[in-house]
Amino acid sequence: MSDGSFPGGPARRAGFFIFLFLPPFPLFSVPLCALCVKNLLFNFPTSYYPSPLPPTYPTPMFPEIERTLFTKDQIAARVKELAQEIVRDLETDLAKDDHSLQDENRVIIIPIMTGAMIFVADLIRELPVKLSLGLTSVRSYPGASISSKGAHLESDLPDNLTGKHIVVLDDILDSGQTLALVKAIILKQNPASLRLGVMLDKQTPRTIDVKCDYVGFQIPDEFVVGYGLDYDGYYRNHPEIVILNQNAIPKR
Ligand code: IMP
Ligand code: MG
């Protein structure tokens, strides 16, 4: 108590003092008294501010992680830079048809689910743009695969893209099949502009030529997880972009 603390914290201390100095007006003092007694006796919330959480990483939840390619801070800084590039381009494209970033019904961001989920959630909060989202889902790494089995659309793309400014976002560019497929379908709807962005560009020999306008980081030809990317459905919630140790993945 010498450090000024009070058993039960600030709320109970406040309750205690109000209880002591209540004015003798029965109309107010009776219910107030009851409240203060309740405050003192029961476990009323003692803190109205969230206390700092323990670090989420490193955590025993992911012992099979071998090394980190990009930390949370590196990712966050790069996402901010990408957002600035996107805003600059959108501003230029919108100006061509006399629109601005604040105009409604002009910009549609298309995240390719599920991998782009975390990247897009972070990125769009850095975009001061009146935009809407049009989710689509493509599968190319079914189950525990670590190489592409061919891209398949799992949900229809939005059908209102004509004349709009479209930015398609994915977690990673690997063989290029996913983005090539989505791009071809969108172009059929004659958008005003179409740009592609990925958080990661894997340096892998590619037969399909897809150019991304926005790339977070280039990475070596290795299987990565975290920040939305999965292996067999897991690790998407890992906050960094990491490489699993070889025991965690069966041989290619
Ligand atoms: P692509 O069609 O071969 O370019 O593959 C793109 C998709 O494959 C991405 O959207 C990811 O979902 C998945 N993918 C490719 N490489 C990796 C990886 O290293 N880790 C996790 N998923 C990957
Ligand atoms: Mg994907």
Distance (angstroms) between ligand 2 centre and the Cα of 160 equals: 23
Closest CA to ligand 1's atom 22: 229
Average pLDDT over residues 140-148: 68
pLDDT exceeding 70 applies to what percent of the chain?
71
The residue assigned the tokens 């670590």 is 146
Q: 29 with 147, same domain?
A: no
Q: 32 with 84, same domain?
A: no
d(CA 205, CA 228): 23
Domain endpoint, select from 12, 28, 52: 52
* 180 in Cβ contact with 187 (< 8 Å): no
Q: 133 with 228, same domain?
A: yes
Residue 196 in domain: yes
Distance (angstroms) between ligand 1 centre and the Cα of 118 equals: 15
Q: Which of 120, 117, 122 minimizes the C-alpha distance to 108?
A: 120
Per-residue pLDDT reduced to its tens digit, 14-67: 555 555 555 555 565 666 556 555 555 554 444 444 455 444 565 666 778 888
Residue 174 designated active-site? yes
Closest CA to ligand 1's atom 12: 115
Q: Which of 86, 150, 96 minimizes the C-alpha distance to 124?
A: 86
Distance (angstroms) between ligand 1 centre and the Cα of 191 equals: 26
Most confident of 14-18, 64-68, 149-153, 194-198: 194-198
Residues near ligand 1 (Cβ within 6 A) = 112, 115, 140-141, 148, 151, 170-178, 202, 223-225, 229-230
pLDDT band at 223 (very low <50, low <70, confident <90, very high): very high
Residue 190 in domain: yes
Residue 79 in domain: yes
**Ligand in nearest proximity to the CA of 69:** 1
- pTM surpassing 0.85? no
Q: Which of 113, 224, 229 to mutate to test the pocket of ligand 1 (most atoms within 8 A of CB)?
A: 229
Q: 18 with 134, same domain?
A: no
Closest CA to ligand 1's atom 19: 223
Residue 21 in domain: yes
Residue 59 in domain: no
Segments forming the whole domain that contains residue 28:
1-52
The residue assigned the tokens 């603390």 is 5
Q: Give the residue, 41 or 127, on which the prediction is more confident.
A: 127
Whole-number pLDDT of residue 55: 45
Q: 2 with 105, same domain?
A: no
Tell whether the model's pLDDT for residue 230 goes beyond 90.
yes
We report the CATH number of the domain holding residue 236 as 3.40.50.2020
Residues contacting residue 189 through CB under 8 Å, at least 6 positions apart: 159, 161, 162
Burial class (CB in 10 A: 0-12, 13-18, 19+), 42: exposed
Instruction: Please give the number of the atom of ligand 1 that sits closest to the Cα of 171.
Output: 10
Whole-number pLDDT of residue 211: 93
**Ligand in nearest proximity to the CA of 138:** 2
Distance (angstroms) between ligand 2 centre and the Cα of 169 equals: 10
Residue 160 in domain: yes
Q: 158 with 231, same domain?
A: yes
**Ligand in nearest proximity to the CA of 229:** 1
